[in-house]
């Protein structure tokens, strides 16, 4: 068994977390909350996929949803957003497919 006595972040805990771009945000920032929530949804979908192995069509659909969620999470983590800011890389085709 691995025993972790001390874990260091090298930056301390000043109430912020780093985005993929290196920018820092408060831990209660809506963007951080959004990708944390999407990560939890993605984990639940992974658990569901463990139980639908005999339903290849359903498993395939859930796999595509997971991939789309990963794309959106990466956008939230890496890109600066806001009025006039960069658009998410989630495509219209992905959104349309989610509605089918």
pLDDT along the chain (100 residues), means of 10: 69 79 86 89 95 90 91 78 56 69
Tokens of 87: 């658009």
User: For the chain, what percentages of helix, strand and coil (3-state, to nearest 5) are there?
Assistant: 50, 5, 45
pLDDT at residue number 100: 66
Domain boundary assignment for the chain: 29-81+88-98
pLDDT at residue number 78: 76
pLDDT at residue number 83: 46
Contacts of 27 (CB under 8 A, 6+ apart): 15, 16, 17
């Amino acid at each position: 068994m691995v025993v972790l006595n001390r874990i260091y972040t090298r930056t301390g805990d000043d109430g912020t977390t780093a985005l993929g771009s290196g920018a820092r945000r408060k831990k209660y920032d809506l963007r951080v909350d959004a990708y944390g929530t999407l990560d939890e949804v993605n984990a639940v979908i992974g658990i569901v996929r463990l139980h639908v192995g005999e339903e290849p069509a359903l498993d395939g659909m859930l796999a595509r949803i997971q991939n789309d969620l990963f794309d959106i999470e990466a956008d939230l983590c890496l890109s600066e957003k806001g009025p006039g800011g960069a658009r998410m890389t989630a495509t219209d085709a992905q959104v349309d497919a989610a509605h089918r």
